[in-house]
Amino acid sequence: MKKVVFVLIVFVSNNIFSQGCSDAGFCTSENMKYGTSVDSLKHTIKFGINQGSADFDVSVFGMYLEYKYQINEKINLGTRINYTSQSKDAVSSSAISDGYIIADYLFTPTLSASVGLKIPFSDGNVKENGFALPMDLQPSLGTYDLVLGVSKKYNNLFFALGYQQPLNKNKNTFFKPLSTNEFFTTNQFKRAPDLLLRVGYSYEINNKWKLSPSLLPIYHLANDTFEDVTNQEIEIKGSEGLTLNASLLVQYLINNKNALEFNLGSPLITRDARPDGLTRSFVLNLEYKFSF
């Protein structure tokens, strides 16, 4: 017997969603997207691919593999691994970027809370020809992040609130050349926390198809910082502020064990400065889900 639950699997991939997302997986996690239908099957495996266009004509391609285990009717445990590839002109970088582990607790079928950790597989300082690449070309932010969330569903409306707190600086050593206006200096980059809210509506066309449009405001709670050549911490002006994303999720249920999902996202409002490299003018994501 199916029951509607919100599972905030705050899987944070560095480059899945539109500008300002604290990390895409946060923005595209289960309850940050919609209230999903889950049956009694305990295991869920997801595989996804995504393509996006970033600032400074950077092209981004990503893949992810996700596993979730339903321990009981109240508790879920999930993990995820992301791969990210970015390129601009003749410069590119590709790597397994981040891993995640998250625990979810369901208070009721329409109310849940989550806590998790993002684990980087890179220090955010990938180099080419001995020179550090800017954050826009780094596969990972290079930080351990604490992620917290709570969600609620009311009829066809759904609401999700999330918080992401970086726990360390990364090891990036990029200084912007004086000859260019592209990118930001991000030496010893320290990223501020994010507060996210998603408000959406879930519409079931029939027992196979579902549409879920939503708005996702994200507030970057302070200016990010970097260290100059004298090791002084400098604020990046304009990096604090609001981003507003719009998204459309289309789900197709093949059967009770298999499903496909298509997600399109784009920003409506952006911050003046986005040194973290998470800017996306658009993102397309395709996901296959298998439950057993």
CATH number, domain at 25? 2.40.160.40
* pLDDT tens figures, 222-232: 999 999 999 99
Segment 253-257 long-range contacts (CB within 8 Å, at least 24 positions apart): 253/207, 253/208, 253/209, 253/210, 256/39, 256/41, 256/291, 257/41, 257/290, 257/291, 257/292
* pLDDT tens figures, 245-264: 999 999 999 999 999 999 99
Q: Which amino acid is at 257?
A: K
Of all residues in the chain, the percent with pLDDT exceeding 90 is: 79
> For the chain, what is the domain count?
1
* Residues 6 or more apart in contact with residue 52 via CB below 8 angstroms: 15, 16, 18, 59, 60, 61, 62, 280, 281, 282, 283, 284
> If pLDDT is split at 50, 70 and 90, which confidence band does 13 have?
very low
What global pTM score does this model have?
A: 0.86
> If pLDDT is split at 50, 70 and 90, which confidence band does 21 have?
low
> If pLDDT is split at 50, 70 and 90, which confidence band does 83 have?
very high
* pLDDT tens figures, 35-61: 444 556 899 999 999 999 888 889 999
Two structure tokens written together for 15: 């480059």
Averaged pLDDT, 63-73: 95
Tell me: pLDDT of 188 over 90: yes
* Maximum Cα interatomic distance, the chain, rounded to a whole number of Å: 63
pLDDT for 180: 86
According to DSSP, residue 274 is labeled -
Buried b (16+ CB within 10 A) or exposed e, 92-125: ebebebbbbebbbebeeebebbbebbbbbebbbb
Higher-confidence residue of 15 and 112: namely: 112
> If pLDDT is split at 50, 70 and 90, which confidence band does 179 have?
confident
Task: Tell me how far apart the alpha carbons of residues 110 and 4 are, in angstroms, rounded to a whole number.
Answer: 7
Averaged pLDDT, 228-243: 96
Q: Tell me which residue range forms the domain holding 250.
A: 3-291
DSSP E strand boundaries for the chain: 3-5, 36-38, 43-53, 59-70, 75-88, 91-108, 111-120, 127-128, 131-132, 145-154, 157-166, 194-201, 203-204, 209-220, 225-227, 233-235, 241-253, 258-269, 282-291
Tell me: pLDDT of 270 over 70: yes
Strand partners, 84: 62, 95
Mind giving me the DSSP string for 138-205? -SS----EEEEEEEEEETTEEEEEEEEEE-S---------TT--SS---TT-BPPPEEEEEEEE-EES
* pLDDT tens figures, 152-164: 999 999 999 999 9
